Amino acid sequence: MRLLLLLVVSLAFVAGCGGGGDDTTTESVATSADGCTSVDAPAPRDAESLQAPTAALDASKTYTLTFETNCGSFTVTLDPEVAPKTTASLVALARDGYFDDTIFHRVVPGFVIQGGDPTQSGSGGPGYSTVDVPPSDAAYTKGVVARFTGKDVERLLADPGIVRNRLKVESTIVNAGRVLEAQAELGSFDAYLWAFVDGAPIVNAWRTLSELPAETEVSRALWKDLKRRGFRFIGPTVCYAFMQTVGMVDDHTVDCFRHSGHLP
């Protein structure tokens, strides 16, 4: 089910040890269904031409945006000091109701919100753009691939140093997002994978390479669950090769010095 932003985005701020707020909400009209309420998709809105705010937010206050959706609510804490233009724009647009009745495609807790625009064209916007230069010590060590856009796909497809297959490139980006979702749900993608082998490598005792299977019952179980979670361009054979690569299964022949039986 698509995540629909069907309630007003509410803004709150806290100054010092005291508090103040400006919250607005509307009523939800839906019935529960598998954790989300069942709603009709909103109609596209006409493109707008708004003016970017000229004043930055008060850096001494803590601002949060709370998104009420048909799949629950989530809150984003803004950082006016690091991103003064972006945060001022978000607050101005929220107060103006710009995000109301907007389709959100993906929400990864603690990482990213991926939404469309009110026009539902993929190219709509408020009529202006904002740019905040990241601090010199900024480091994006998590989720870089998951944030890739269509422009990144085209850039990669022009890179002669990689396999330039559109389906593979796009699937890699999608799968990066699925990894983050699994991490958010389970705490660790590592723990998720190792649960399929009860936390310890499967040690086989093959004598010849011809005995090695292309897939196993475990790799099929992993594939089916990854597919259920939205992973793309995978199969039981690919999953088994991955299991071999990361050490979930030891398929070295028994005479190989890398077989577990020869290690201290």
What is the CATH classification number for the domain harbouring 213?
1.10.340.30
Q: Looking at the domain assignment, is residue 193 inside a domain?
A: yes
β 249-250/202-203 pair status: parallel
What pLDDT shows up at residue 116?
A: 66
More confident residue, 90 or 108: 90
Q: Which of 124, 158, 183 is the last residue of a domain?
A: 124
What pLDDT shows up at residue 226?
A: 97
Q: Looking at the domain assignment, is residue 40 inside a domain?
A: yes
Q: Looking at the domain assignment, is residue 236 inside a domain?
A: yes
For 170, phi then psi, to 5°, come to: -65, -35
Q: What is the pLDDT of residues 106-155, one digit of tens each?
A: 666 665 666 667 887 766 788 888 888 877 777 766 788 988 888 899 99
Q: Indicate if 8 and 43 belong to the same structural domain.
A: yes
Mean pLDDT of 69-88: 86
CB-facing half-sphere around the CA of 189: CA atoms within 13 A: 13
Average pLDDT over the chain reads 81
Q: Indicate if 258 and 156 belong to the same structural domain.
A: yes
Q: Indicate if 73 and 161 belong to the same structural domain.
A: no
Q: Which of 89, 124, 159 is the last residue of a domain?
A: 124
Q: How far apart are CA 63 and CA 89, in angstroms?
A: 12
Residue 64, Cβ density class (10 Å: 0-12 exposed, 13-18 middle, ≥19 buried): middle
Range of the domain at 56: 3-124
Count the helix, strand and coil residues of the chain and give each as a percent rounded to the nearest 5.
30, 20, 50
* Sequence-separated (6 or more) residues with CB below 8 Å from residue 107: 3, 69, 71, 74, 113, 114
* Sequence-separated (6 or more) residues with CB below 8 Å from residue 81: 59
Q: Indicate if 16 and 117 belong to the same structural domain.
A: yes
Q: Indicate if 116 and 168 belong to the same structural domain.
A: no
Structure tokens at 140: 């994006």
What pLDDT shows up at residue 179?
A: 94
Structure tokens at 54: 């000229």
More confident residue, 88 or 264: 88
Q: Looking at the domain assignment, is residue 145 inside a domain?
A: no
Q: Indicate if 77 and 163 belong to the same structural domain.
A: no
What pLDDT shows up at residue 216?
A: 97
Q: Looking at the domain assignment, is residue 130 inside a domain?
A: no
Q: What is the pTM of this model?
A: 0.53
Query: Per the structure, how many domains does the chain have?
Result: 2
Q: What percentage of the chain has pLDDT greater than the value 70?
A: 80
Structure tokens at 46: 């006409």
Q: Looking at the domain assignment, is residue 188 inside a domain?
A: yes
Q: How far apart are CA 228 and CA 163, in angstroms?
A: 26
Q: Looking at the domain assignment, is residue 131 inside a domain?
A: no
Q: Indicate if 117 and 7 belong to the same structural domain.
A: yes
| pLDDT interval class at 259 (50, 70, 90) | confident
Q: Indicate if 99 and 202 belong to the same structural domain.
A: no
Q: Indicate if 8 and 116 belong to the same structural domain.
A: yes
Identify each DSSP E strand in the chain by its residue range.
3-5, 10-15, 20-22, 31-33, 36-38, 61-69, 72-77, 102-108, 112-115, 202-203, 249-250
Q: Looking at the domain assignment, is residue 129 inside a domain?
A: no
For 11, phi then psi, to 5°, come to: -110, 135
For 24, phi then psi, to 5°, come to: -135, 135
Q: Indicate if 228 and 181 belong to the same structural domain.
A: yes
Q: Indicate if 48 and 114 belong to the same structural domain.
A: yes
What pLDDT shows up at residue 229?
A: 95
Q: Indicate if 120 and 160 belong to the same structural domain.
A: no
